[in-house]
Amino acid sequence: MGFPLFLTVAVVASAPDAGAAAGSEARAAVASCARPAVLDAVDGTTAEFVETPAGRAVRFYEKNGPSGSGRYVTERRWLIVPKTCRTLALQMDCAGGHPECSAQVLHRPGQPPTDPERELLLSWLGGTRRDPKKPEHQASIAPGLAPLPPKWEEASDGDGEEDAPEPTRGAKTPPASFIVRAVAQPPPRWLAGPPVAQSLSWAESHVFADKEEDSIGAPEGFVSSGRFYSVHRGDCCVRADAVREAGTERLRFFSSPSRAIQKASYVVLELPKRHCAAWLAASEGGLQWLGMHGGRAWLKSPGALDPGFSLLAIDVKSGAAWHLDLDRTATFNPDAYRARAVTKAGLLIEPFDGEASGPRKTVPWALLERALRDPGAVGDSVLMMGACRRLRPIPP
């Protein structure tokens, strides 16, 4: 699950003193209610009156964090009804500057929110419900790097990978043998015009609690039930990075302002002559340019935590893309290498510790391109290109 957005809920007033007075009045309206202890324990908690379908109520805002190495933040927006002391909260959790966040509705045991109450709480998320047709929501639906097929040793009946044989004195190191796996990315979703600035959006997640359960981080005396939500902070946490020209086509890179191990990266293919663009892929490990070969852009994803790397190949004419990986063999350990550059001979890779740990190696183009031969994926991309041609440019 992801984590929270940063929205500021403050008392609206014409002057600081008037705002403080309004906040005090709102607190006084629910003074007789058994408020959650966190509302008095957290500095900077604000309060204001809000209008609800059931009448006037009080909304509190509290923020905890950032804390830990991931700079985790928890924010809650509380709804307390003065007459009945009914108490609900919308809790959001986020890590650093990562765009993906989670949200859930908290309530007292046996007092779940009604549908109108849930809709009211969700309206406090800001942004809008996720819509795949909106240009400003494309980062939130950009496909991650497609899962690769099983490694050759996993798909075989053998005992697994072999250890490299110990070289004898004076013997030459055998040349590396490479095994490349590849899988096609989903076909591109073309939209008219260039990519636009992203906005905050939210959607129901796959997580659903069919019965009341204690939620991680929830205050004492509160539980969660029903649907959880995913929130994508495209407004603050998806920023333009770089642009690479590939003939008449353009690759645009975006990323989050978070630390390297939490960074989210995106690549967008823009076809200026056809007046359309598509968000092709998102990667948690980052996406870095390697070069062009044979009409394809080659990128590397270094991986957020694990050693090694994987590759992303993009046909800049059609938008077809593939995720590739190198397998370990008896003469090659990919975890000890990083992708360096695209050359005429193939993909140049080098040891992490420099040439002192061994020579650079080249993965030949014939081997890489053989892994990309997937007629089904190319056919899908051609059909999508037809959709791109029919799009009209957005007026300036």
R_g (Cα) of the chain, nearest Å = 26
Q: Please give the structure tokens belonging to residue 386.
A: 């037809």
Predicted pLDDT of residue 151:
66
pLDDT at 292: 95
Order of strands across the sheet with 46-52? 46-52, 55-67, 72-80, 87-95, 100-107, 223-233, 200-213, 128-129
Between 149 and 139, the more confident residue is: 139
Written as six digits, the tokens of 247 are 């003939």
If you average pLDDT over residues 187-199, what whole number do you get?
A: 95
Report residue 335 as tokens.
């975890």
* DSSP letters spanning 35-55: --THHHHSTT-EEEEEEETTE
Confidence (pLDDT) at 379: 32
pLDDT at 89: 95
- Cα torsion 48, 54, 55, 58 to 10°: value is -20
CA distances from 331 to 163, 375, 379 (A): 8, 31, 36
Average pLDDT over residues 359-375: 85
Mean pLDDT across 245-255: 94
> Which residue did the predictor score with more confidence, 38 or 4?
38
Phi first, then psi: give them for residue 133, nearest 5 degrees: -85, -10
Q: What is the pTM of this model?
A: 0.82
Q: Which residues of 294-305 are buried (b: 16+ CB within 10 A; e: fewer)?
A: eebbbbbbbbee
What confidence score (pLDDT) does residue 177 get? 80
Q: What is the mean pLDDT of residues 180-195?
A: 93
Checking if the pLDDT of 388 tops 60, the result is yes
Q: What are phi and psi of 122, to 5 degrees?
A: -65, -30
pLDDT value of position 304: 58
Mean pLDDT of the chain: 82
Note the pLDDT tens digit of each residue in 297-356: 999 998 655 667 899 999 999 999 999 999 888 888 888 898 999 999 999 999 887 665
Q: Say what the pLDDT of residue 21 is.
A: 67
Angle 292-136-282 from CA coordinates, rounded to 5°: 40
- Please spell the DSSP secondary structure of 233-291, one letter per residue: EHHHH-EEEEEEEETTEEEEEEE-SS-GGG--EEEEEEEGGGTEEEEEEEETT--EEEE
| Cα separation values, 171 from 41, 313, 323, Å | 70, 37, 36
Answer yes or no: are the C-beta atoms of 374 and 184 closer than 8 Å: yes
Q: Read off the pLDDT of residues 251-298 as tens digits, 9 standing for 90 and up.
A: 999 999 887 778 899 999 999 999 999 999 999 878 999 999 999 999
Q: What is the structure's pLDDT at 18?
A: 55
pLDDT of residue 250: 96
- Is 100:232 a contact under the CB 8 Å cutoff? yes
What string of DSSP letters covers 290-336? EEEETTEEEEEE--SSSSS-EEEEEETTT--EEEEEEPPBTTB-GGG
Residue 155 has pLDDT above 50, yes or no: no
Per the document, the length of the chain is 396
More confident residue, 42 or 393: 42
